Amino acid sequence: MALFGTDGVRGLANRDLTAELALDLAVAAAHVLSEKGAFAGHANNERPKAIVGQDSRASGEFLEAAVVAGLASAGVDVYRVGVLPTPAIAHLVAESGADLGVMLSASHNAMPDNGIKFFAKGGGKLDDTLEAAIEAKLKEPWERPIGADVGRVILDESAQERYIYHLLSSLSTPLTGLKIVVDCANGASSRVAPKTYIRAGAHVTAIHASPTGLNINENCGSTHMESLIAKVAEVGADLGIAHDGDADRCLAVDHEGNLIDGDFIMAILAASWKEQGRLKKDSVVGTVMSNLGFMKAMESLGISVPTTAVGDRYVLERMISEDFVLGGEQSGHVIMRDFANTGDGILTALQLMQVVVSSGKSLKELSGIMKRFPQSLINVKGVKKEQLATSEKISKEIAIHEEALGGSGRILVRPSGTEALVRVMVEAESNEQAERIASEIASLVRSELQ
């Protein structure tokens, strides 16, 4: 089975994702990128340069050490930036001209998991071809540099401040007077997000911003919105922002506690940008998981929505190939190519809050731009997800329900790219209908793919 999923290599830290594997992947990545010419152009035999960061998981400490050791042993100079959001690594790679970036994170997954994400020169994620080449290169014999040719390891203490400067430079309107709550998921945004929002002018209450190495994503962050909703009500905030463990996502709630997911955020940004003449080609890139209500809202505004497979890397590929500037996922990955070539939760929150301030409207008023179709999502665990594509019985069941829904709903059944499960998503005109159909399909998936 392939090591790389839709977002790097993930698994249970120290069992699936071991220090040995992390070291070997780092060495293989250095060799593959060198062979592909990604390290070319260094004057005076200058060594290639890598940026390495991590989220707040305890396992990130030994995995980071392994990655750093692997890269340095392959002749790469390594700049350690510590605990920072994933998009910070992408930005720092681009800003510094580094040849490679590595982030140790399992994003929204539970604390025992961890992952390795690679970024190429320029800050973009590696494409499937390069990931396959890295996997093929594992354990191959190689000639090790010695003496002055080994890589050096440098602690980069200015990285956080440079990233915050980048985030704030995206704003044209200060957030003065805006009262917000931010849930940092006890993750990578715990220091950066509150500091950035305060410096942008907002009055900030931060929750779940005390990482211990063990509490990342634990009943908090973008996958557990309850405490954010409660705190917004308690302090009378204008809105709340939730990040996931590595802060490449942003979800929000309005002052009444209504969820503002990635589709709502993209709709608000797309409408604002179109009005300003900033929405290139009057298009916003979505995925097959984008809510039908988002599609219909964009259609009513004359905005087209080309779609991709789930995964922000696929959204970005489409954006680059067709020169779009806005795209993302319902989960809160939003890419704004005017500022970055990766999803950035803090950047997304800043841009969303800027629309709130500049429009003079509440987030609830702005979210009226679309009506979310009821959606039921069931994660079917403990099944052989690789057999989904060949199951005729499941395909026929889906087709029957799709015909009954007509144009008033849709069904998506797909294997997760990051976890061992199958996702069943149904949209319909009512919650009851969506839940009934999703439950029936999930039961069939569970029985057929044992």
Following DSSP, what letter does each residue of 332-372 receive, concatenated?
S-EEETTT-SS--HHHHHHHHHHHHHHHT--HHHHHTT--P
Are 220 and 255 in the same domain?
yes
Q: How confident is the model at residue 420, as a pLDDT?
A: 78
Nearest CA to 388 out of 424, 435, 418, 438 is that of 424
Q: How confident is the model at residue 34, as a pLDDT?
A: 84
Count of residues making up the chain: 450
Are 70 and 203 in the same domain?
no
Q: How confident is the model at residue 366, as a pLDDT?
A: 98
Please identify which of the residues 59, 105, 107, 283 carries the catalytic annotation.
107
Start-end of H helices in 99-149? 128-137
Q: How confident is the model at residue 262, as a pLDDT?
A: 96
- The neighbour count for residue 226, using CB atoms within 10 Å, is 11
Structural domain containing residue 112: 4-162
Which residues, 6 or more positions from 89, have their beta carbon under 8 angstroms from its beta carbon? Answer: 51, 52, 53, 81, 101, 102, 103, 117, 119
Which residues, 6 or more positions from 229, have their beta carbon under 8 angstroms from its beta carbon? Answer: 240, 253, 257
Are 390 and 306 in the same domain?
no
Are 306 and 437 in the same domain?
no
Domain count, the chain: 3
- CATH code, 379: 3.30.310.50
Are 359 and 396 in the same domain?
no
Nearest CA to 188 out of 98, 82, 287 is that of 82
| Angle, alpha carbons 221-242-309 (nearest 5°) | 90
Nearest CA to 330 out of 299, 362, 375 is that of 375
Are 105 and 228 in the same domain?
no
Q: Chunk the chain into consecutive blocks of 10 residues (it has 450) and report each block's average pLDDT, rounded to whole numbers.
A: 79 96 96 76 75 98 98 97 98 96 96 95 88 91 94 97 98 97 98 98 98 98 97 98 97 98 98 97 94 94 95 90 96 95 96 98 98 93 90 94 88 84 92 95 93
Q: Decide if 107 is catalytic.
A: yes
- Whether the CB-CB separation of 123 and 93 falls below 8 Å is answered with yes
Are 300 and 349 in the same domain?
yes
- Whether the CB-CB separation of 14 and 124 falls below 8 Å is answered with no
Which residue among 162, 189, 212 closes a domain?
A: 162
Helix (H/G/I), strand (E/B), else coil: 323: coil
The residues that bridge with 336 in the sheet, in sequence order, are 326
Q: How confident is the model at residue 45, as a pLDDT?
A: 65
Sheet holding 251-254, edge to edge: 203-207, 179-183, 239-242, 251-254, 259-260
- CATH code, 325: 3.40.120.10
Are 381 and 281 in the same domain?
no
Backbone φ and ψ for 114, nearest 5 degrees, come out as -155, 175
Residue with tokens 């957030």: 175
- Whether the CB-CB separation of 313 and 241 falls below 8 Å is answered with no
Are 219 and 298 in the same domain?
yes
* 283/305 Cα distance (integer angstroms): 6
Which residue among 341, 367, 393 closes a domain?
A: 367
Strands (E), 186-250: 203-207, 239-242
Are 274 and 361 in the same domain?
yes
Helix then strand count (H, E) for the chain reads 14, 19
Are 303 and 184 in the same domain?
yes
Tokens encoding 93? 């790679």
Are 113 and 52 in the same domain?
yes
Q: How confident is the model at residue 41, as a pLDDT?
A: 56
Which residue among 131, 162, 193 closes a domain?
A: 162
